[in-house]
Amino acid sequence: MEQDSTSSSSEQSSREDGEEVPTSYVPFRNANLLAMAVSYAEANDCDAVFIGAHSEDFSGYPDCRPEFFEAFQQAVDVGTKAETEIEIRAPFVELSKTDIAERGVELGVPYEHTWSCYRAESPACGTCDACAYRLQAFQNIGVRDPIEYEERPEYVE
């Protein structure tokens, strides 16, 4: 299905399985990123490549689903040298952004040094999908997100 990459992020296209794919979807992005990471990993004798996809991602992004990572693992197994063993690890794929934020707080993650916004520079917008998920997660656990936002909407009622 063709999609206009200039359309607004509030528009969605329908998939054949009935699920909506947001227009912010970049076709096969994770496959390209994982392919580059696996190439680097093989060249440097690494044994794993990690990706931070989470459960809210795979509701709309087909390349963030557990089945995608399982299939990509098969491509890695077949497409690398026989002695190469690289595991694709998606540790958050079954967790919500709220679960991840909560666990990060427990572990003392320096969230002030992390970034989710689609913008390249500070302040984060506060309204793109990535910011909305992040802010909502922090609001759900009752912790103020330490990064600066242009807007800081309340996503939890």
Reply yes or no on whether the pLDDT at 84 is more than 80: yes
Confidence of residue 16 (pLDDT cuts 50, 70, 90): low
Q: What is the pLDDT of residue 3?
A: 41
Between 117 and 13, residue with greater pLDDT: 117
Tell me the mean pLDDT in the region 114-137.
94
Number of separate domains in the chain: 2
With contact defined as beta carbons under 8 Å apart, do 80 and 118 qualify? no
What band does 7 get if pLDDT is binned at 50, 70 and 90?
A: very low
pLDDT attached to residue 13: 47
pTM above 0.85, yes or no: no
**Domain end (from 75, 95, 115):** 95
Which residue, of 43, 63, 95, is where some domain finishes? 95
58 and 127 in one domain? no
Residues 72, 110, single domain; the answer is no
Domain residue limits at 8: 1-95
Q: How far is it, in rounded angstroms, from Cα 35 to Cα 131?
A: 27
| Tens digit of each residue's pLDDT (9 = 90 or more) over 31-75 | 999 999 999 999 999 999 999 998 887 667 899 999 999 999 999
* pLDDT given for residue 8 in this prediction: 39
CATH number assigned to the domain comprising residue 18 = 3.40.50.620
pLDDT of residue 20: 80
